[in-house]
Chain A
């Protein structure tokens, strides 16, 4: 029998790694990720988990150690966030390009300066193009579910890509919520043993990480891109199989009360749950609004997104990151590009807020919807709107 207990999201992620019987954990502590490696260290110390726990001297070494461990066929896990994710940035590309399925929880945190230990998506957006499969979580249950799912998908023989599971720093990592934990037998049914097909083995010597001269580099990169795009089939299959065993079904793009809604709000991560309340309030007032929770960030679910927004007139995209000097929030820019070539597409309004731990209330999201509609209808030359930021935003038009 599965059991329902109160669990902090960080501990839920650690619990998923434990139930996945992870072999190697290499991690460096950084707020707000600390509860994950702490909990895992405790499990190893208490004999609840038989794993090599490597308390490395930096995030750069954490990811580098993960590469080595995965290359000998060990199921490998780590966690970081914010500056820690940036510090391992260089290594992230190597993990995906060498097809080493390291699984990592990212406790999303703002980037310095000024120093902020609190949450936003600047770290996730900085790692956008690293070639990792990336998903966002709304709550503690999803922190558990997505971590387990990440092992299943990343390690699948046809995929072999590392996976980042994003949890909003503090807003999610430090929140205790009811979580349904499955039986080990169910986990084992969902998650087969990891069999890395190209292990470093003296009996079958292989060369890993050779260098790519100009006459071959482009081809290796295109092969990688095609493989990542193709992984979407297994990603969706993984969601379905997860649902069939555990009863909770996930999707790359998750609409909430979008039936015939003329205006859609798009959010990612834990703020989606707050935004849903705003949608409920608006619908109670018979306003035609719905929500899109973007779960799968990479590979980007183009087709699913186009389908989900095709009947909407206005799409308000909420970003927790500034793309400095860029054309709006990074997510909204992507979505604009994704929709641009389609005849039937909503007007996209970019909103930025929730930076460095700034809270977003239900009222804030109601404002985002109202103002977003106004901007879309009247037209605006601004690149993006902001919410909850004090002071006059001067004209930032080009």
Chain B
């Protein structure tokens, strides 16, 4: 079967869908859009290991499945270990001549909770052991599948069901854990951040991550209308604003060298991003100011890294 493509400017995108329609994601979900694009970038030659989470439950209720590529889910906290077993198994079986030589991409898919909280130990171990795999973290900034509980990836000031805004609390009181930099600290060959509002950038990074020899990590910003309480037609706009305000900068780190993929001379005020989302509705001016300062500081740090270690 000859693969068909659609041309978008200079980008060719396959018409093939690897995640079938009929899944049960919420309408307007930014995550499933990112997943669809990521799978198109990866193509057919993959094995996907999936942590428990939105993607897993929305694609695999027995006896049906949305997956047109080989896919395995075992538990919540162990996807990096599972994918490393898949990779090691394929490698040794090839070496022993039991299966044909073939480049099959081993890909782990997880949410922010499965990555930056309960799965971080297994992920660190898999990075350190230098398996040839790509890890995709779909970050919707809370435990959305279980009902919007806070994670270490939830941003400061967001209201969630386990860190709700109330008379005596602004909601989340800690700053978002920087998973991409934790990945960089493992000295792996490729780390990138991506967002479905920038579809070709996302697909290029996933493709690159899949082709790199050794561990690769792509952290994908995944707007969640249900958990962030924004209109279901706003996922793309919110993703774009996250990038344009500097809240979620798009960059890649190849062999320790930094490259900012979207670099605006002037960042938009964070308020433009925050005000579209119910989870930040309770924030007053001074809190927004505090978030603005933090974003400025983090963005400056990133720019300094780009300047010090340019690609």
**A positions within 8 Å CB-CB of B:** 23-24, 26, 50-52, 54-58, 60-62, 64-74, 76, 90-91, 94, 98, 193, 200-202, 204-213, 216, 220
Query: Contacts A52-B91, A68-B85, A202-B69 known; A212 to B62 CB distance under 8 Å?
Result: yes
Interface segment out of the listed B70-78, B155-163, B190-198: B70-78
B85: chain A residues within 8 A (beta carbon) = 24, 26, 54, 64-71, 76
Q: How far apart are the CA atoms of A208 and B83 in the complex, in Å? A: 13
| Least Cβ–Cβ distance between B254 and chain A, in angstroms | 26
Q: Determine whether B45 belongs to the interface, using a CB cutoff of 8 Å to chain A.
A: yes
B126: chain A residues within 8 A (beta carbon) = 61
Contact A201–B92 (Cβ < 8 Å)? no
Q: Determine whether B234 belongs to the interface, using a CB cutoff of 8 Å to chain A.
A: no
Q: How far apart are the CA atoms of A200 and B105 in the complex, in Å? A: 12
Query: Contacts A24-B89, A69-B85 known; A60 to B77 CB distance under 8 Å?
Result: yes
Q: How far apart are the CA atoms of A71 and B57 in the complex, in Å? A: 20
| Least Cβ–Cβ distance between B76 and chain A, in angstroms | 9
Contact B92–A202 (Cβ < 8 Å)? no
Contact B49–A207 (Cβ < 8 Å)? no
Q: How far apart are the CA atoms of A193 and B97 in the complex, in Å? A: 13
Q: How far apart are the CA atoms of A256 and B99 in the complex, in Å? A: 47
Closest to B84 in A: A65
Q: How far apart are the CA atoms of A56 and B128 in the complex, in Å? A: 9
Give B86-104 interface residues, CB cut-off 8 Å to A: 86-93, 95-96, 98-99, 104
Chain A to chain B contacts (Cβ below 8 Å), 15 pairs: A23-B89, A23-B92, A23-B98, A50-B92, A50-B96, A52-B92, A56-B84, A60-B77, A68-B81, A72-B86, A202-B45, A207-B60, A207-B65, A207-B71, A220-B62
Contact B60–A210 (Cβ < 8 Å)? yes
**B positions within 8 Å CB-CB of A:** 44-47, 49, 56-57, 60-63, 65, 67-75, 77-78, 80-93, 95-96, 98-99, 104, 121-122, 124-126, 128-129
Q: How far apart are the CA atoms of A158 and B63 in the complex, in Å? A: 22
Query: Contacts A202-B46, A202-B104 known; A208 to B89 CB distance under 8 Å?
Result: no
Contact B82–A205 (Cβ < 8 Å)? no
Contact A52–B88 (Cβ < 8 Å)? yes
| Least Cβ–Cβ distance between A282 and chain B, in angstroms | 49
Question: Which residue of the partner chain, among A50, A55, A64, A202, contacts B122 with CB atoms under 8 Å?
Answer: A64
| Least Cβ–Cβ distance between B303 and chain A, in angstroms | 34
Contact A60–B81 (Cβ < 8 Å)? yes
Contact B86–A71 (Cβ < 8 Å)? yes
Contact B99–A64 (Cβ < 8 Å)? no
Contact A205–B70 (Cβ < 8 Å)? yes
Query: Contacts A202-B104, A208-B71 known; A213 to B61 CB distance under 8 Å?
Result: yes
Query: Contacts A24-B88, A73-B93 known; A207 to B67 CB distance under 8 Å?
Result: yes
Query: Contacts A64-B78, A71-B72, A211-B61 known; A205 to B67 CB distance under 8 Å?
Result: yes
| Least Cβ–Cβ distance between B75 and chain A, in angstroms | 6
Question: Which residue of the partner chain, among A52, A57, A64, A73, contacts B124 with CB atoms under 8 Å?
Answer: A57
Contact B96–A69 (Cβ < 8 Å)? no
Contact A56–B125 (Cβ < 8 Å)? yes
For the complex of A and B, 3 pairs with smallest distance between CB atoms: A68-B85, A57-B125, A65-B85
Contact B62–A61 (Cβ < 8 Å)? no
Contact A76–B61 (Cβ < 8 Å)? no
Query: Contacts A23-B92, A57-B128 known; A210 to B81 CB distance under 8 Å?
Result: no
Question: Which residue of the partner chain, among B44, B72, B92, B93, contacts A68 with CB atoms under 8 Å?
Answer: B72
Closest to A201 in B: B70
Besides A64-B78, A200-B71, 18 more A-B contacts (Cβ < 8 Å) are A26-B85, A26-B88, A52-B88, A54-B88, A56-B125, A58-B122, A60-B77, A68-B88, A70-B89, A71-B85, A74-B92, A98-B74, A202-B69, A205-B69, A208-B71, A208-B72, A211-B73, A216-B62
